Structure 1
């Protein structure tokens, strides 16, 4: 499979970027090919402009040059993956803007659906697993990504994995242990990409 991996973090030397590299290593080890869309390094503009606002009266794709380029890139992929930090219990604004602008009417929804087989979402969480689950933030994030996004655009095989505790380490030794755990998990997710089962509860739209 050819996997388009979309990553969002302002720093290249971040845990998010390291996790992305390990995820890609896992994909390639299983024989997949990968294209990376690094939203920050490519300076993707997440702001919706008038030319990209959905036009409910038309049935063709007639959006801005950048959006049409990204749609072409999507069309080359069999599957998708997204790697990002969890900010305010959601994806970063630049990634939300990418989805707003590129998952367009009559391409991702409306008279057409995304052509991709599956989506893997990988979010890095600053706090602990216990703290995140205490208020059901994990369920909120997974429902939004698996149902509100993936299923709505026709991708029924979707999974969210959260790497916890990225700001929790209290010592250098603990930080190293956490880091090893995160990188191993990201690598394993790459190895499992073509075989994971969907987390979605099917909802009839």
Structure 2
């Protein structure tokens, strides 16, 4: 399977990129192909201007060259993975802008839906799991990403994985997070649930 892995973090020397490296190694070891899109280093502009404003009156309008390039990139892959730090119990603005601009009307929703078989959202959270469960941040994120975004765009096989305690500096915690990331890649095929729960 060909999987597009989109990574969002301003620093290459970050846990987010370490997780992305281990995740993609797991994909490769499982026999998948993957392309990594680094939103920051690619220079992607997350601000939606008029050329990329969704147009509901046409079946498939032509968007800006930058967005058309990313749409074509998505079309070349069977499945998707998004790796990001959890900020304000959501993903970074650059990834929100990517979704706004690229998952656009006539391609991702409306007259056409995404063709991708699966999507996996991997978020790095500084707080412990108990904190997320206490305030139901985990449920909020899961509903938003699996149903509000992926499900709305036709991807029924979607899962959110939150890696907790990312500010814990102990080597054993770091190793555990990287092992989780590796296994998410290695078992990408059989580690996803449908949004219809």
User: Which residue of structure 2 lines up, in the alignment, with residue 198 of structure 1?
Assistant: 193
The separation in 1 between residues aligned to 2:179 and 2:83, in whole angstroms, is: 15
Q: Indicate if the aligned counterparts of 2:60 and 2:105 stay in contact, CA closer than 8 A.
A: no
User: Which residue of structure 1 lines up, in the alignment, with residue 9 of structure 2?
Assistant: 9
Task: Report the RMSD for the aligned CA atoms in angstroms.
Answer: 1.0
In the TM superposition, 1:81-120 aligns within 5 A as 81-120=81-120
C-alpha displacement at 1:197, in angstroms? Answer: 3.4
1:184 equivalent to 2:182? Answer no
C-alpha displacement at 1:199, in angstroms? Answer: 4.8
1:153 equivalent to 2:153? Answer yes
1:42 equivalent to 2:42? Answer yes
Q: Where does the alignment leave 5 or more consecutive residues of structure 1 unmatched?
A: 170-174
TM-score normalised according to structure 2 size: 0.98
- 4+ residue runs over 3 A deviation: none
Q: Indicate if the aligned counterparts of 2:156 and 2:196 stay in contact, CA closer than 8 A.
A: no
C-alpha displacement at 1:56, in angstroms? Answer: 1.3
Q: Where does the alignment leave 5 or more consecutive residues of structure 2 unmatched?
A: none
Q: Indicate if the aligned counterparts of 1:61 and 1:107 stay in contact, CA closer than 8 A.
A: no
C-alpha displacement at 1:57, in angstroms? Answer: 1.3
Query: SS where residue 160 of structure 1 aligns?
Result: strand
Q: Indicate if the aligned counterparts of 1:128 and 1:168 stay in contact, CA closer than 8 A.
A: no
TM-score normalised according to structure 1 size: 0.94
1:62 equivalent to 2:62? Answer yes
The separation in 2 between residues aligned to 1:136 and 1:49, in whole angstroms, is: 34
The separation in 1 between residues aligned to 2:43 and 2:81, in whole angstroms, is: 19
Tell me the number of residue pairs that the alignment of Structure 1 and Structure 2 aligns: 197
Q: Indicate if the aligned counterparts of 1:54 and 1:104 stay in contact, CA closer than 8 A.
A: yes
